[in-house]
Each structure stands twice: as structure tokens, then as C-alpha cells.
A and B are shown apart, each in its own frame.
Chain A
Amino acid sequence: MSVENRMGARPSLPTGVDYGVYHSPKIFAAEQRKVFQGRTWCYLGLEAEIPDPGDFRATHVGETPVVLVRGLDWKVNAWVNRCAHKGATVCRSLRGNQADGAFVCVYHQWAYDAEGTLVGVPFRRGLKGVGGYGKDFDPANHSLEKLRVESYKGMVFGTFSSEVEPLEEFLGPVMRKYVDRVLQRPIKVLGYARQHMAGNWKLYSENSRDSYHGALLHLFYPTFGIYRQSQDSAGELAEQGFHSVFTVAKPKGDVDYGSFGDEANREMQGTAQLQDESLLQFRPEIDDDIGLHIQSLFPSVVLQQIQNTLATRQIVTHGVDQTELVWTYFGYADDDEETTRHRLRNLNLVGPSGLISMEDGEAVELCQQGTVGAEGKYNFIKMGGDDVRGYYAPMGMDENAVRGFWKGYLDLMGNALATFDKQMVA
């Protein structure tokens, strides 16, 4: 019997991952390199947030502070918010417009253009032959760290990797089809909400791919008797496994999942009545009957349409147990006032106060708290089987997309996870 078997330990698999991955600072550090700075495209924001030249927005890739800027030439740039001199944060605002396209570090006034190229250094030549940098100092070697930037349908992504495939290939045809669906026409930003969870980023990433908890944790619909048991639902995965999308539409035929409520052993019939049903009104505005579209693009964003709410949720990692979710709510640019008001009313459903979404923050924290000290023990992700499928319907009684997340994650982490698993045995 090998040492591993005697210890009862085994490598982490998509069906069961060592709980230590939510707690280990070493794993967190490895993720920053291999996931967020590795062969992935990370979401940076929406082009609609920076419509004009000089517009900028502070964002993150993993825990790294990044600034998204529209240059004076209209090109979208992104650079690490870290001065090449002493590492100070150069841009100190969440958003704004830098009309001259110049960003100056307040510490020693090193100045960069919108692309992050160093364009000015005070006392570079010294004064009257005294001080200054040597002749070998070339500003071109001291720019801000620049990211490769690509947009898809107005969603801007950046990468530190020179090896990752172009964004469109990284997303793949299935994910692109669904992004096309929501971002079918120009959008306008309606606002932000920032939700902080005392939990690991992967717990939220799993949560957004976990259709199993939907009707069980989020009890708003069943409580008010509005759970549609005959809805049409499906989950689709990208080839790598780590991107996924769920859709729920009104039924095409007479499908009856009537027994689901009984099996779940919960009050699904609804004993409360909504006093104001305008909250739930749904106006189909895309050429289909889909009322819920939750799309998780690895590693850092969820794109959603729930009823008439449209939003991106960016995942920012502030530490092994500190995760921020930045909700950016939007509508279509041609919405009239009444449509906007309707979206604002619908927004009660989603976000950190969302009647059908607030619980996710609590779920993340419960898992973080419950897995403290549980290194060498494993989660159990076999609902609906132990394989990773490209398509699953109806969804809700499977964890296919969660296994897909772990499959992609484990592939990227490679040796870092294998080494970790080994340490857990020792």
C-alpha cells in the first residue's frame, strides 16, 4: 500500500477537491500566477463604462490593481496600477476622465500616457550637471506593466499571458453565442453595487455554476408560489469546462416536474402573496422566452440576464478569504424612461440585497467557516454523475458545471495542486 493510500489521501479531482484550497495562502499565491496571470483572459469592465477618450476605471485582475483607460485615439488600454519607480499606486480614483490622457504618480511625478508608457521623469538629467539618472536610463524600459487587451461585444478582457489564445477562441463558440444574446445591442451603465464576502473566490465561482442550490437556498420564488416547475432549463459548458451558462425559459410543451417539490421536501407551493407583482413583471426583449441567463466566464466574471435585469459580476480576490463582487448593472442604450424604471424595480431581485440572490454571500461564508482546518478532507460534487458534459437539461439536479470549473482549474494549476495534495499527506 502506498503512503497516499495509507493516509487516506488522494489527489484533488473535479468530483472532490481538498478543502485546503479555500484556505492555503500558498495555493492563493499560485492561483495569482497560474490562473489570473496565467493562460486566461480576465474581465476588466465594459466599454460602455469608458465611452470617451481619457475615461478610466480602476479594476483588478485577481488581486492585482489594474486601470482600464480609453486612449485619446479611442483605443482601450489596461495597465497595472503600480508606478515603475517605487511601486506606488498611480491612479487613485475609482473612475474619472483624464482629458490629457496623462497619469502622474503623486509621489515623484513620474508621468505615463494612457497606454501606460513613461513619458516624463522629473530631474531626469539632474540640474546643472548634478544628480539625475545615468545615460543608460531609457524611459522605454520603465513603463507601467501593460496587459494584452481584447474586447468581445463590449466586454473588455485583459491578460498577462503572451501564450493564451485570442479572446474569441478562449471564450469559444458556445459562450460567444450567449454573450451575443445579452449584448445584442448597445448598452448603458445604470450603476454599481459592491459586495464583500469573507470567503474564497472559488466558493463564489462554484456558486454561480451550481444550479443545484437555486431552488433550495433561494426561497423567494417558492415562498410566494411562483416557482415554475415546468420551466425549460439547460446548462452548457465550453470545451475547457470552466466557462458555463444556464438558461431557464418558459416551457415549450407540457412538461411536468410536479414531483420535484415533494422530493425537495420543502414548501414549494407558496403560502405568501406578493402585494405588488410589478417586481416580477417580465418583458421579453430578446428574441426568445429566456427569463434567466447566468453565464460564468472563467476566472472572473458572471454575465447575467434575470428577468429584465442585466449585469456583470466581477470577482476580485483580496486574499484567501476576502472576495469582492462588483455588480455593474446596465440596460440598453435605447431604453426609454419607463423601461429603465422597470429594470430598477426588477433589480430588487438581484445584487447584494437581491430577493433571489442575496443568499449567495451567506453560502460562501458558511463554506469558508465550515472548512477551516479541514485540509485533507474533500468536498463531494457528484450530483448528476462524475463526468463533465457539454450539455445538461434540465439543469438543477446536477453539479456538472461545478465539476467543469474544477476540471479547468485543476488543468491550469497543474503541479501547484499536485504539490499541495502531496503536502497534505506529509
Chain B
Amino acid sequence: MISVDPVLQGQVDSLNAAYGLCLDDGRLEEWPAFFVDDCLYQVIARENVDNGLPAAVMYCDSKGMLVDRVVALRRANVFPEHFSRHLISRAVIAGIKGETVTAQASYAVLQTRNDGETRIYNAGKYIDMLIVKEGAAKLVSRTCVYDTHRIATLLATPI
């Protein structure tokens, strides 16, 4: 464990909290703004990561692809109506190099569909690289490694 400036810790945790609420409030159009332009976002099964296999169910290596995902969700894709709720742990900051920070956090996404039951939909961890400057953090890359390798029905909304 490295000793982390509480201000920096707060900036990273604030980003994660705002990120989760953004998705859970359904403000998907605001989601790409959490990333820098030249970013990587992927959602990959833990069984693949553990076995050195690269295939991810979402793999966006530009901000444009994040925007395309959102437009597709809004206008094209068909999926069960649902609400999601992100519970994100305090980040563990692993490295700081200038403005670049590496961090990890655990997450659980609860999902409530039209039957009214709330289920644990997806659990895993974020492996992040961030740029922190001028008092704000942005994601350079976020890899969502999901333990829940049995995806219920489909995975539409970003994790």
C-alpha cells in the first residue's frame, strides 16, 4: 500500500461515485465525458483474464465508440426495461506517476426489472488508469473484470 494524498484519494473516489450515479440515473449521454478522448473501455469476464484470453464483451478503444454504444442503446438495441444501481468500493490507488494514476475498485451492479425484484446482476472490479489534473480525474482506461460470468439475458447498459 502506498501512502496517498487524501485529496487525490477523494478525487478518484468522487469520479467513481459520479460515474455510478450517472449510469444509474440513466444519464447515458454524459457517460463518455468521464473518459479522455483517446481511451479504452472494456468489459471482460474474469475467466478470460485469469486464463490470459483477451476477448471482451464490450471493447471500445475510442471515445467515439463509447458514444456509438450509447446511441445504439437509445435508438437500436432492445433489452429488458431495468434500473441499475452501482455500489462501488473506495478505490485502492496502486501507482502515481505525474498526473497518471492507476487504481482498482470493487463494484456490484444491482438490477431491478419490471417484475420488481432486485437482483445482483454483475459483480467485479474496475482496473483503471486515470489522469488527474486541475482538480479533476478522467479515465484513460477502465477495464471491468466481471466475476459474474453468467450474464443474465444480456448486458446492454455499461458497467
Distance between A357 CB and nearest chain B CB, rounded to angstroms: 9
Most chain B C-beta atoms within 10 Å of own C-beta, residue among A198, A347, A358, A359: A358
Contact B53 A192 (CB under 8 A): yes
Distance between A225 CB and nearest chain B CB, rounded to angstroms: 11
Contact A196 B150 (CB under 8 A): yes
Of A223, A324, A347, the residue contacting B75 (CB under 8 A) is: A223
Give a binary string over A194-222; 1 marks a CB under 8 Å from any B CB, 0 the rest.
Answer: 11111000000000000000000111101
Give a binary string over A283-322; 1 marks a CB under 8 Å from any B CB, 0 the rest.
Answer: 0000000000000000000000000000000000000000
Q: Is B118's CB within 8 Å of the partner chain A?
A: no
Q: Which of B3-11, B60-68, B99-107, B132-140 touches A?
A: B60-68
User: How far is A358 from B158 in the complex, measured between Cα atoms in Å?
Assistant: 13
User: How far is A340 from B58 in the complex, measured between Cα atoms in Å?
Assistant: 15
Q: In the complex, how many residues of chain A place their beta carbon closer than 8 angstroms to a beta carbon of chain B?
A: 43
Q: In the complex, which residues 321-345 of chain A have their Cβ closer than 8 Å to any Cβ of chain B?
A: 324, 329, 340, 344-345
Q: Looking across the interface, which residue of chain A has its beta carbon closest to that of B42? A: A344
Of B45, B61, B80, the residue contacting A194 (CB under 8 A) is: B45
Distance between A306 CB and nearest chain B CB, rounded to angstroms: 14
Contacts of A196 in B (CB 8 A): 150-153
Contact A345 B61 (CB under 8 A): yes
User: How far is A219 from B76 in the complex, measured between Cα atoms in Å?
Assistant: 5
Distance between A171 CB and nearest chain B CB, rounded to angstroms: 26
Q: Is B120's CB within 8 Å of the partner chain A?
A: no
Q: In the complex, which residues 131-157 of chain B have their Cβ closer than 8 Å to any Cβ of chain A?
A: 149-156
Q: In the complex, which residues 12-48 of chain B have their Cβ closer than 8 Å to any Cβ of chain A?
A: 43-45, 47-48
Contacts of B153 in A (CB 8 A): 195-198, 352, 361-362, 365
Q: Is A193's CB within 8 Å of the partner chain B?
A: yes
Known: A272-B75, A352-B155, A359-B77. A193 touches B67 (CB 8 A): no
Distance between B52 CB and nearest chain A CB, rounded to angstroms: 9
**Interface size range of chain B in the complex:** 35 or more
User: How far is A223 from B59 in the complex, measured between Cα atoms in Å?
Assistant: 20
Distance between B35 CB and nearest chain A CB, rounded to angstroms: 13
Contact B77 A220 (CB under 8 A): yes
Q: Is A184's CB within 8 Å of the partner chain B?
A: no
User: How far is A147 from B152 in the complex, measured between Cα atoms in Å?
Assistant: 31
Q: Which of A31-39, A273-281, A377-385 touches B?
A: A273-281
Q: Is A30's CB within 8 Å of the partner chain B?
A: no
Contact A365 B77 (CB under 8 A): no
User: How far is A276 from B67 in the complex, measured between Cα atoms in Å?
Assistant: 9
Contact B154 A195 (CB under 8 A): yes
Contact B55 A192 (CB under 8 A): yes
Of B54, B80, B152, the residue contacting A340 (CB under 8 A) is: B54
Q: Is A425's CB within 8 Å of the partner chain B?
A: no
Distance between B56 CB and nearest chain A CB, rounded to angstroms: 7
Contact B79 A191 (CB under 8 A): no
Contact A359 B154 (CB under 8 A): yes
Q: Is A269's CB within 8 Å of the partner chain B?
A: no
Distance between A350 CB and nearest chain B CB, rounded to angstroms: 9
Give a binary string over A351-367; 1 marks a CB under 8 Å from any B CB, 0 the rest.
Answer: 11111001101110100
What would 27 A/B residue contacts be, using CB atoms closer than 8 Å?
A190-B55, A191-B44, A191-B45, A191-B56, A192-B47, A192-B48, A193-B55, A193-B149, A195-B150, A195-B151, A196-B150, A196-B152, A198-B152, A217-B78, A223-B71, A275-B65, A276-B65, A279-B68, A324-B150, A329-B55, A352-B151, A352-B153, A353-B43, A354-B57, A355-B77, A362-B153, A365-B153
Q: Known pairs A219-B76, A272-B75. 17 more at Cβ < 8 A?
A: A191-B54, A194-B149, A195-B150, A196-B150, A217-B78, A222-B76, A275-B64, A276-B62, A276-B64, A278-B65, A347-B56, A352-B57, A353-B43, A355-B77, A361-B153, A362-B78, A365-B153
The residues of B with any CB-CB pair to A shorter than 8 Å are 43-45, 47-48, 51, 53-65, 67-69, 71-72, 75-80, 149-156
Q: When A and B form their complex, which 10 residue pairs have the shortest distance between CB atoms, in order from nearest?
A: A191-B55, A275-B64, A276-B64, A191-B53, A223-B76, A191-B48, A358-B154, A353-B57, A190-B55, A219-B76
